[in-house]
Amino acid sequence: METSVCLIVCIGIPGAGKTTFCTRVREELGQLYSFYYFSYDELSEGDYTGLGRRRIFEIVESKLNNIDVYYKPIVVFVDDNMYYKSMRAEYLRLAKKYNTSFLQLYFDVKLETAIARNKYRTINNIPDRIICEMALKIEKPQKYVFIVNSNIGYTKCVLDSFRNAVNEALQNPLKNSEEVPEIVTIESKIHSVDLVLRKLVGDRIKRDKTQALMYINKRKDVLEKIKRNSILIPENYKDCDLYEYFNRYF
């Protein structure tokens, strides 16, 4: 017996309502689907780096590789911001590897609404500045997408539309033969950025050797903030003047 599986990645800035929606879906549609839910906030264990996301990806892949047989379809939620398309590309490749269905939930929310919701968080509260930066940089998906209007409540109509989108996706599992976009990992991005930061530090020290320790520590601080998503790497970083982009942090 083969079990139908739909791998779903959630896309949206902090405060967009991703976790609330996933909870509501599991409560309301539990008779139709079996659910697995993987939350970045819950599984990262405070490791807000590329390694933290790699750990979660490996957990999800392990589940897909050892999926249990159910009499009803399985929905696998990955609850993360996923604001860069490169973050989603890994999961798209994973869906094709295991011939599962794939769906992207894009949470459309007003910036002020997301910021207001974020203020009520007792844990994982995100600075307003970071939410604003993510809102500017988020890459909206163009394919395999269901848009959730997060500015309104999750009504029966919204849930019905979501159910229809899942059922349609389940009828069209992906295949390995389909083209997969190139994946650029966060680790490779950080390495590229670090090379630029080292050049910045070297140039600053040439101007003023008395501040060498300060500039070295500044580089470490910038790298740490990048790993925590407090400073965002441009999505098109290969075509961007990274020297000029990160110059403002020095």
Model pTM? 0.71
Q: Residue 225 belongs to what domain range?
A: 186-247
Domain count within the chain: 2
- Cα dihedral sign, 124-127-131-136: negative
Instruction: Give residue 2's pLDDT.
Output: 62
162, part of any domain? yes
- Mark whether 166 and 67 lie in a shared domain: yes
Residue 157 has pLDDT above 90, yes or no: no
- Mark whether 154 and 190 lie in a shared domain: no
- Mark whether 12 and 68 lie in a shared domain: yes
What are the E-state strand segments in 43-109? 74-79, 101-108
> Which pLDDT tens digit goes with each residue over 91-117?
999 999 999 999 999 999 988 999 999
* Integer Cα distance of 52 and 110 in angstroms: 28
* Integer Cα distance of 219 and 54 in angstroms: 24
pLDDT band at residue 182 using 50, 70 and 90 as cut-offs: very low
- Mark whether 194 and 84 lie in a shared domain: no
> Which pLDDT tens digit goes with each residue over 201-229?
888 888 888 888 888 888 888 888 887 77
